[in-house]
């Protein structure tokens, strides 16, 4: 028998082009088609006016509400108060300080995120160890010829980032210690850790913040004032470290017993075993959970408004009360939401990228 050489044919037209794609993905069968039409209808009837309101009918330039005449969003409101949204009541002449702190932070993070950059370990160590000191002196001052800026003046995005970064950086190691303690053979260590974790997980963050701002001072001697921001930071960190501990415990449990045994049999001590063998494997598994906790923490920072700290959401609310700008609260809430979303979405994307990278790196398991 003889076989003809088969010609290479283009795919049938139903598979290619816009029509092909639509037919395959949106209109394959009656149920799918109806769903597409219904969802499409709602999307269009919602999106079109929204986009029109945000972008087309909106006003962008001006100095007062008189500039807002088009009937759409009044972004003039935001741009006039942008400094407050970003820096709170931080003195204008000193705005370069949070800016510099922010640039160093983002620069180092970008360095760590980019795939090709060298010396990531060094940068990460500097970021965790040296950066907090630099940032403290930059923001607070009272040294190196910088004026002191009291923390009650800090606000807006600056304050949100301070709360989130400190919370994240401090709660991870604390959470690791708590998780290890919870697994410990030593009954006292174990019960202290379990009690700590369960107490903090059982109360809402709002209560924690109230207690930190109202009750904590009662335990300190008269006249000794204890910075309100610091109290909030301690509350947030302890609260989040309890959650972090549970995420980490989950990761630790996923490591096979054989890994512990091999490390023991080689004579590694407890900390060597944990730091060199168990944690690197567990942290890899825990990235999604850890980032989830970070994202939750980032959003939770907005609760500090109830104890009178002016994070970016509180600044937005304060702006809404301004008699000159009554009626533009939608704009300020949208703007605040956008700021939160940008940070949280970046974290989520980075974690996905990191996960992928770590998974392709090492063959099995």
Partner 1 sequence: MSHSQATDKLMVELRDLNKWYGEFHVLKNINLEVRQGEKIVICGPSGSGKSTMIRCINHLEEHQKGDIIVNDIPLNEDIKNIEAIRKEVGMVFQHFNLFPHLTVLENCVLAPIWVKKMPRKEAEARAMELLERVKIPDQALKYPGQLSGGQQQRVAIARSLCMNPDVMLFDEPTSALDPEMIKEVLDVMIELANEGMTMLCVTHEMGFAKTVADRVIFMDGGQIVEENEPHEFFNNPQHERTQLFLSQILAH
For partner 1, the binding residues (CB under 8 A) are: 256, 258-259, 261-269, 272, 276-277, 280-281, 284, 361-365
Measured between alpha carbons, how far is 254 from 365 in angstroms, rounded to an integer?
Answer: 11
* In the complex, minimum distance from the CB of residue 234 to partner 1, in angstroms, rounded to a whole number: 34
Instruction: Collapse the DSSP code of 142 into the 3-class scheme (helix H, G, I; strand E, B; otherwise coil) and give the result.
Output: coil
* In the complex, minimum distance from the CB of residue 275 to partner 1, in angstroms, rounded to a whole number: 10
For residue 253, give the H/E element and its range: helix 228-253
Q: Is 317 exposed, middle or buried (0-12, 13-18, 19+ CB in 10 A)?
A: middle
Of 79 and 281, CB closest to partner 1: 281
* In the complex, minimum distance from the CB of residue 283 to partner 1, in angstroms, rounded to a whole number: 10
Phi/psi for 91 (5° steps) reads -55, 135
Of 185 and 324, CB closest to partner 1: 185
Of 116 and 364, CB closest to partner 1: 364
Of 153 and 287, CB closest to partner 1: 287
The neighbour count for residue 91, using CB atoms within 10 Å, is 11
Of 52 and 281, CB closest to partner 1: 281
- Give the DSSP per-residue string, 53-121: IIIIS-B---SSGGG--SSS-BHHHHHHTHHHHHHBT--GGGTHHHHHHHHHHHHHHHHHHSSS-S-HH
Of 280 and 308, CB closest to partner 1: 280
Of 186 and 214, CB closest to partner 1: 186
User: Which residue has tokens 């099995």?
Assistant: 364
Instruction: Collapse the DSSP code of 204 into the 3-class scheme (helix H, G, I; strand E, B; otherwise coil) and give the result.
Output: coil
Among 246, 245, 220, CA closest to 231:
220
* In the complex, minimum distance from the CB of residue 350 to partner 1, in angstroms, rounded to a whole number: 20
* In the complex, minimum distance from the CB of residue 286 to partner 1, in angstroms, rounded to a whole number: 14
* In the complex, minimum distance from the CB of residue 358 to partner 1, in angstroms, rounded to a whole number: 9
Measured between alpha carbons, how far is 146 from 248 in angstroms, rounded to an integer?
Answer: 40
Measured between alpha carbons, how far is 99 from 234 in angstroms, rounded to an integer?
Answer: 25
Of 2 and 362, CB closest to partner 1: 362
* In the complex, minimum distance from the CB of residue 125 to partner 1, in angstroms, rounded to a whole number: 20
* In the complex, minimum distance from the CB of residue 255 to partner 1, in angstroms, rounded to a whole number: 10
**Both tokens of residue 312?**
């970016």
Contact 156, 86 (CB under 8 A): yes
The neighbour count for residue 189, using CB atoms within 10 Å, is 15
């Amino acid at each position: 028998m003889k076989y003809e050489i088969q010609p290479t044919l283009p795919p049938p037209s139903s598979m290619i082009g816009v029509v092909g794609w639509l037919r395959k993905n949106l209109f394959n069968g009656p149920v799918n088609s109806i769903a597409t039409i219904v969802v499409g209808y709602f999307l269009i009837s919602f999106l079109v006016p929204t986009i029109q309101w945000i972008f087309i009918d909106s006003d962008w330039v001006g100095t007062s509400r008189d500039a807002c005449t088009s009937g759409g969003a009044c972004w003039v409101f935001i741009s006039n108060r942008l400094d407050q949204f970003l820096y709170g009541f931080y003195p204008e002449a000193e705005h370069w300080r949070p800016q510099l702190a922010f640039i160093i932070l983002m620069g180092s993070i970008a360095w760590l995120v980019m795939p090709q950059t060298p010396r990531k370990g060094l940068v990460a160590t500097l970021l965790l160890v040296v950066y907090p000191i630099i940032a403290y002196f930059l923001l607070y001052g009272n040294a190196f010829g910088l004026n002191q800026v009291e923390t009650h003046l800090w606000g807006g995005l600056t304050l949100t980032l301070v709360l989130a970064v400190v919370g994240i950086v401090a709660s991870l190691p604390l959470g690791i210690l708590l998780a290890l303690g919870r697994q410990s053979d030593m009954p006292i260590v174990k019960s202290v850790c379990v009690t700590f974790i369960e107490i903090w997980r059982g109360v809402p963050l709002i209560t924690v913040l109230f207690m930190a701002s109202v009750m904590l001072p009662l335990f300190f001697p008269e006249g000794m004032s204890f910075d309100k921001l610091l109290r909030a930071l301690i509350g947030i960190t302890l609260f989040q470290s309890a959650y972090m501990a549970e995420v980490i415990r989950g990761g630790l449990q996923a490591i096979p017993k054989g890994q512990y045994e091999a490390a023991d049999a080689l004579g590694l001590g407890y900390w060597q075993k944990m730091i060199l063998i168990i944690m690197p494997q567990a942290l890899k598994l825990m990235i999604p959970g850890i980032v989830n906790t970070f994202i939750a923490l980032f959003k939770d920072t907005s609760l500090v408004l109830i104890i009178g700290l002016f994070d970016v959401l509180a600044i937005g609310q304060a702006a809404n009360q301004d008699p000159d700008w009554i009626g533009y609260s939608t704009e300020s809430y949208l703007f605040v939401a956008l700021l939160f979303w940008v940070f949280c979405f970046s974290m989520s994307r980075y974690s996905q990228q990191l996960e992928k990278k770590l998974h392709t790196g090492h063959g099995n398991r």
